[in-house]
Structure 1
Amino acid sequence: MVISFNSIKGGVGKSTLAVNFAAWLAKEGHDVLLVDGDEQETASDFTAWREQTIGNTGYTLVNMTGANLRKQVEQMKPKYDHIVIDTGGRDTTSQRAALSVADVSMIPFAPRSFDLWTINKVIEVIDEVQAIRAEPIIPYVFLSRADIKSADNREVAQALATYEQITYVPYAISNRKAFSNAAGVGLAVFEMVQPDLKAVAEINALFNHVLHGNHITTGA
């Protein structure tokens, strides 16, 4: 399966979730390719820290940007069980190339009104990509960097659930220091010596839904 993490606004935790997903899939015993399609190269920086911290990343990392990303991912799909793509936080050629080749798009939204305002642009991009695909992509939207307790979470979740073009999944990722603390040393949240069990439970719920909540076969 090819899973692309997408957004058209930065600061929603997209790259953090992408690298955690790659590490999570590797922990599950899968052969994983992590594609850094973001010019900021956050996934590459994370992986460099990871190699220093634990020696073995557990997955393969490649950098791909631009329109050629689609062709390269297509060529590499038979070699891996899963491919995770991290794209930039804006509407770019790399992001559209990733959406054109992915089976699933993961689209995080922070529960803030100014983040929700971008939903129409997200819908527009999804509609344009769906129109040129032979098989439709599954676009999952979910709350990321959510407040632990806030009415904003509920209000934004209800708004996201009203759009037919996207699928809202009720597995929010809270704004916890555990994610940044782990990422700073190249680890997923579940790899820390004393992991934040609530953070671990959140990513387990979200990632298990993506991996097992649909009927897409792997790329192997």
Structure 2
Amino acid sequence: MVITVGGIKGGTGKSTISTNLAVWLSRQGHDVLLVDADEQESSSDFTAWRGETRNGELGYTLVQLTGALVRRQVELLKPKYSHIIIDTGGRDTSSQRAALFVSDRYLLPFAPRSYEIWTLSKVLSLLAEVQDVRTSPLQTFSFLNKADTRGVDNAEAMEVLRENEELNFVDFPIVSRKAFATAASKGLSVFEHTPVDEKAVAELNVLFSHVTK
């Protein structure tokens, strides 16, 4: 399965989702390829630090690809891996478009803020263009990431996402927690960090189980 984590707005936690998903799948015994197609190279930086702190034991393979190479190389590499995760960053780039042509699923994290929701029209436009030329439909999942523990912003954002059926909103929010940054600073996923943040782990388990089933 090829899964792209993307969107139009930066700062929604795409690399955090991508790296934690790669580790989650690898811990289940899958051969996983993580493709860093983001100019900021956050997944690559995380993986480099992970290699240092874990004596080179990553649990997955990482490659950097951009532009049309994303599509061509992923098509070649698909038979070699159980799952390929593509971190495309937060802009409408040639890398993201190339990834969407070769992906089975498209994960769209949204932060619960009004300026994040304003990007919906651009996301819908991109999705419509890609769906129109694909031979089979791209399955999409949108969800709240960096969600608040309380307040009205979550509810307002979820209402807007639900109104757009093309985005296939799933009500499995990932709350903004210190555990994500703390784990990443050690080259770890929240599944590996101790002490374990049970809430963070539970939230990701539910989301990842749903989008990969």
| TM value normalised by structure 2 | 0.98
Q: 1:39-50 residue pairs with structure 2 within 5 A?
A: 39-50=39-50
Q: Which residue of 1 aligns with 2:144?
A: 143
Looking at structure 1, the residues matched to 89 and 17 of structure 2 have their Cα atoms a distance apart, in angstroms, of 13
Looking at structure 1, the residues matched to 165 and 13 of structure 2 have their Cα atoms a distance apart, in angstroms, of 24
Q: Which residue of 2 aligns with 1:26?
A: 26
**Deviation at residue 204 of structure 1 after TM alignment:** 0.3
Looking at structure 2, the residues matched to 98 and 181 of structure 1 have their Cα atoms a distance apart, in angstroms, of 30
Q: Give 3-state SS (helix, strand or coil) of 1:143's partner.
A: strand
Q: Which residue of 2 aligns with 1:84?
A: 85
How many corresponding residue pairs? 212
Q: 1:9-24 residue pairs with structure 2 within 5 A?
A: 9-24=9-24
Instruction: Give CA deviations for 1:81-102 in whole Å, capped at 9, x if unaligned.
Output: 0000000211100011111111
Looking at structure 2, the residues matched to 149 and 193 of structure 1 have their Cα atoms a distance apart, in angstroms, of 26
Looking at structure 1, the residues matched to 20 and 123 of structure 2 have their Cα atoms a distance apart, in angstroms, of 23
Q: Which residue of 1 aligns with 2:99?
A: 98
Looking at structure 1, the residues matched to 128 and 82 of structure 2 have their Cα atoms a distance apart, in angstroms, of 28
Q: Which residue of 2 aligns with 1:216?
A: none
Q: 1:91-170 residue pairs with structure 2 within 5 A?
A: 91-170=92-171
Q: Which residue of 2 aligns with 1:6?
A: 6
Segments of 5+ residues of structure 1 without an aligned counterpart are 213-220
Q: 1:45-56 residue pairs with structure 2 within 5 A?
A: 45-55=45-55, 56=57
**Deviation at residue 53 of structure 1 after TM alignment:** 1.3
Looking at structure 2, the residues matched to 79 and 37 of structure 1 have their Cα atoms a distance apart, in angstroms, of 19
Q: Aligned AA for 2:155? A: R
Q: Which residue of 1 aligns with 2:61?
A: 60
Report runs of 4+ in structure 1 exceeding 6 Å deviation. none
Looking at structure 2, the residues matched to 67 and 139 of structure 1 have their Cα atoms a distance apart, in angstroms, of 21
Q: Aligned AA for 1:21? A: L
**Deviation at residue 70 of structure 1 after TM alignment:** 0.3
Q: Aligned AA for 1:78? A: P
Looking at structure 2, the residues matched to 121 and 39 of structure 1 have their Cα atoms a distance apart, in angstroms, of 20
Q: Which residue of 2 aligns with 1:210?
A: 211
